[in-house]
Amino acid sequence: MARLFGTDGVRGLANRDLTAGLALGLAQASAVVLTSGRRAELRRAQGRRPVAVVARDPRISGEFITSAVAAGLASSGVDVLDAGVIPTPAAAFLIADIGADFGVMISASHNPAPDNGIKFFAFGGTKLPDDVEDRIEAVLAAGDQLLTPIAGDVGRIRRFADAEDRYVVHLLGTLPHRLDGIHVVLDCAHGAAAGVSPQVFTDAGARVTVIGADPDGLNINDGVGSTHLDNLARAVLEHGADVGIAHDGDADRCLAVDRDGNIVDGDQIMAILAVSMAERGVLTDNTLVATVMSNLGLKKAMAANGISMIESKVGDRYVLEELDAHGLSLGGEQSGHVIMTKFATTGDGILTGLHLVAEMARTGKSLAELASVMTVFPQILVNVRGVDHHALAGDEVIAQAIRDAELELGDTGRVLLRPSGTEPMVRVMVEAADQPTADRLAHALAEVVQSRLALPVA
């Protein structure tokens, strides 16, 4: 049977894949697994119940899924604090801030409104490792024999009244410099950032223009946010703003636009923050964590500034693993998931945006000037579908084609072939000093992969 949990919780089409019944069962199973430790047992010994924070983004299906999750938790003897619509990183922060036993975020991030997801956080607001997710699945599969709670031992469901205020105060407390004098356009993706991001940037001293901040439950990520930057670029130019900041639906990402409408991606944002933190002596071990998909220009920029770089697998959870393993302070992905471990346990788009704009204020430089610390190498990604991706590693013809491409590129580019973890597909990524070279080599490698690994047509 396919694993229920994906790379970021349980996701699917709401009310078809992700039903109220599944949400309730997952909540009950999570209560069994996440309240089995000594901390929860001590609570019970003191006559107190375990506590969970539950939050969601504004998509319409989040209403019934949140109700099902809260019912499942309360029926399992867990007290629920309903934080309402807040960003994913806010939920993670609140779990740690109040010492809750665990938490649940209902969101499908940058996906369209019909989708939704359920993500669990452990004590301290950290993501669950695979083995804990597997235990939750096992309990869910076991059914009533493990999910039946003690008669009468039920939790309460209460509103987390000051959830948003706590998070705002936290964000403001992280700033190394106020944002006075900077005009920021915020694109909140009609998502969870709409109620928080404008307030925080305003309180931090910025002049704020807001777009994409009218969520109606159906318009989340619809032509707005970090996956649709054209509107933000136009707004920055129209208003003569200094910078544009874009979030995704649950506000764990941040991408930016400079005053000329040019996109500044997650790699460039990490480069800016890493150099700033190194200058201020707060970049632990002068080391940045990024994924294997980050642009070669990031690695070269870090080397030029005396900063080491550790590469992780693709996915913010793997960035977090490397950050935790080495005790480091900064990491992230090209997509805009940036993790600052001193202030957050997960990617936080509002936090990232604040610190990016704070660096503009601190240095007096434009975003374009700051981003020039990194030269972005032309990059192309070709998805080769309908192939036996499991056979990629053992094919010597493909390996030789890769070596030939790398020999041609030398130190002016790189090649990465990566099998999909979920479907018969191989991703071919090439970076080069110029776009034509990148395009030519990528498509040539894609043809070799297709010819060697093509699956029989049914």
Instruction: Give the annotated binding-site residues for Mg(2+).
Output: 109, 248, 250, 252
Closest CA to 180 of 158, 162, 201: 201
61 part of the active site: no
DSSP secondary structure of 82-106 = EEEE--HHHHHHHHHHHT-SEEEEE
Please answer whether residues 388 and 449 qualify as being in contact, where contact means their C-beta atoms are separated by less than 8 angstroms: no
Catalytic residue among 30, 75, 107, 109: 109
**CA 268 to the chain's CA centroid:** 16
Annotate 347-364 with b (16+ C-beta within 10 A) or e (fewer). bbbbbbbbbbbbbbbbee
262's tokens? 């040019």
Please answer whether residues 229 and 208 qualify as being in contact, where contact means their C-beta atoms are separated by less than 8 angstroms: no
Report d(CA 299, CA 267) in Å as an integer.
10
Report d(CA 33, CA 120) in Å as an integer.
11
Please answer whether residues 95 and 103 qualify as being in contact, where contact means their C-beta atoms are separated by less than 8 angstroms: yes
For the annotated catalytic residues, the residue numbers are 109
